[in-house]
Amino acid sequence: MRLRVFAALAALSLGALTGCGETTGTSASSPLRIMAPAAPGGGWDQTSRIAEQAIKAADPQRKVEVYNVPGAGGTIGLAQLAGEKGNGNLLMTMGLVMVGAIEQNKSKVTLAETTPIAKLTEEYEIIVVPAASPYKTLDDMVAAWKADPSKVSISGGSAGGTDHIVAGLMAKAAGIDPKQVNYIAHSGGGEALNELLGNKVSAGISGVAEFAEHVKSGKLRALGVTSGERLPDLDAPTLKEAGLDVELANWRGFVAPAGLSDADKKALTDLVTKMHDAQPWKDAVAKNGWIDSFQTGQQFADYLAAEQTRVKAIIAEMGLVS
């Protein structure tokens, strides 16, 4: 009889230990992974790593890991996220760039296969040239561009992304066929920056935060920004001031895998809200000149759906997709 009791207790103990080793759904004891679906050095990577520190500050017990999956405007990372269905410990940083890249790359996986969590920030774009460039103003660049579009190379992020869209809208506003834009796409902001600093391209387009430091140091010259009004602490005209009727803000946010339980979705949303309210996140938003545009739940889901419709129409008009 005693042997049977010991056997039952052993089986019960083993079952309890096995249960303790299993982790399903969102759990504060499990590492939260944040995917930056681009190479290091760009806006998604920067946002992911700032979010990592802000989450750790808001919830010191939470382990957070950022990792990069570069390529194809984030659609390679998107495909990986789709394979993590039901994983409540995974977020992917994304934004306007990915919306365009899905169309540009004819991605089989779309944002319909994700769970929208939160819109985080908006950021205006900046057009820069190397310090040694003959283009002192946007007028100089546009004049050369009109004379021979092929000789003005523009470096930026992924094909079909925000930087590419800005280049196309600028060309259209200047009377240049957007299809003739000599655009050099990269999977991360660091690659575009290296080409500019090495004087290998005529101009570059990216988020203000990615180039602002190098503009202030004199290594790059700002020709214009895509905001409606001049930005503080940045000596650059708006594109409208320079004669090009273009205004556009990039945005970034978080999505999670599809198939989350209501509890997991709420836990992730609550965690990101806690991050947003933490002082390190507020400080980073101010430092980088980002615009706080926080949305969660159905509000963000509706915004995301509207953006997909809007961006698809823009890039189709520009001839970026067939």
Write out the chain's pLDDT in tens, 322 residues: 444 433 443 443 433 333 333 334 555 668 999 999 998 888 899 999 999 999 999 999 999 999 999 988 899 999 999 999 999 999 999 999 899 999 888 899 999 999 999 999 999 999 999 999 999 999 999 999 999 999 999 999 888 889 999 999 999 999 999 989 999 998 766 788 999 999 999 999 999 988 989 999 999 999 999 999 999 888 999 999 989 999 999 999 999 999 999 999 999 999 999 999 999 999 999 988 899 999 999 999 999 999 999 888 888 877 776 5
Which domain CATH number covers 230?
A: 3.40.190.10
270 and 297 share a domain?
Answer: yes
CA distances from 108 to 80, 82, 204, 301 (A): 12, 11, 30, 20
Domain that holds residue 274: 32-122+251-318
Specify whether 91 is located in the same domain as 146: no
179 and 269, same domain (yes or no): no
Residues 170, 127 contacting (CB under 8 angstroms): yes
Residue 139 lies in a domain: yes
Q: Per the domain annotation, does 13 fall within a domain? A: no
Q: How far is CA 285 from CA 50, 216, 235, 318, in A?
A: 9, 19, 20, 32
Same domain? For 111 and 163 the reply is no
Shared domain check, 238 and 148: yes
**Closest CA relative to residue 64, chosen from 34, 23, 95:** 34
Q: Which amino acid is at 210?
A: E
pLDDT of 321: 66
As a dihedral over the C-alpha atoms of residue 187, residue 191, residue 193, residue 198, rounded to 10 degrees, the angle is -150
Number of H helices, E strands in the chain: 11, 10
User: Any idea which residue has 């990592």 for tokens?
Assistant: 52
**Do 237 and 277 belong together in one domain?**
no
Domain count, the chain: 2
**Domain-ending residue, one of 223, 242, 261:** 242
| Residues 145, 201 within the same domain | yes
Residues 261 and 197 reside in one and the same domain: no
DSSP secondary structure string, 111-142?
GGGEEEEEEEEEEEEEEEEETT-S--SHHHHH
